[in-house]
Amino acid sequence: MAKKEYQIICDAIASISPYIRFVGVVGKGGNLLAYRRRPDLEPLLNAKNTQHQFSHIAIKTDLESFFDKSLGEVEFVWEERKKVQTISFAIDKVRVWISIDKKVIRSEMLRIIDSCLPIVKKYSK
């Protein structure tokens, strides 16, 4: 998939909700292929920790693939932390990683997930 398509994915997902902080497409090696950050937003992670987070996503994606045959492929992962919520979606060998304001109610999180699924499916093979 071309870098242009990754940016289209980021832009489409970022437009779903004003509560979305960041959308990034993370490659197999943990490299950031495209992203969209909400304007005037202070990141929660510094540059070094951001790279560690993306490397973690890549390693986790690789490990999860061992169970795909038995359990099926991962459709999405929703993680709640003290300061932020994250969702990640698999598109082939890359991962779309989204951070969302912590204060968002669950029904809005579910709306965001439901709105992301058709975008992700469109670009999955």
* Domains with residue ranges and CATH for the chain: 3-123 (3.30.450.30)
| Residue among 41, 48, 50 at smallest CA distance from 20 | 41
Q: What is the pTM of this model?
A: 0.85
Residue 99 is predicted with a pLDDT of 94
Residue 30 is predicted with a pLDDT of 81
125/121 Cα distance (integer angstroms): 8
**Which segments in the chain show pLDDT lower than 50?**
none
Residues 32 and 24 sit within 8 Å (Cβ to Cβ): yes
Helix (H) or strand (E) run with residue 113 in it: helix 106-123
Q: Would you say how long the chain is, in residues? A: 125
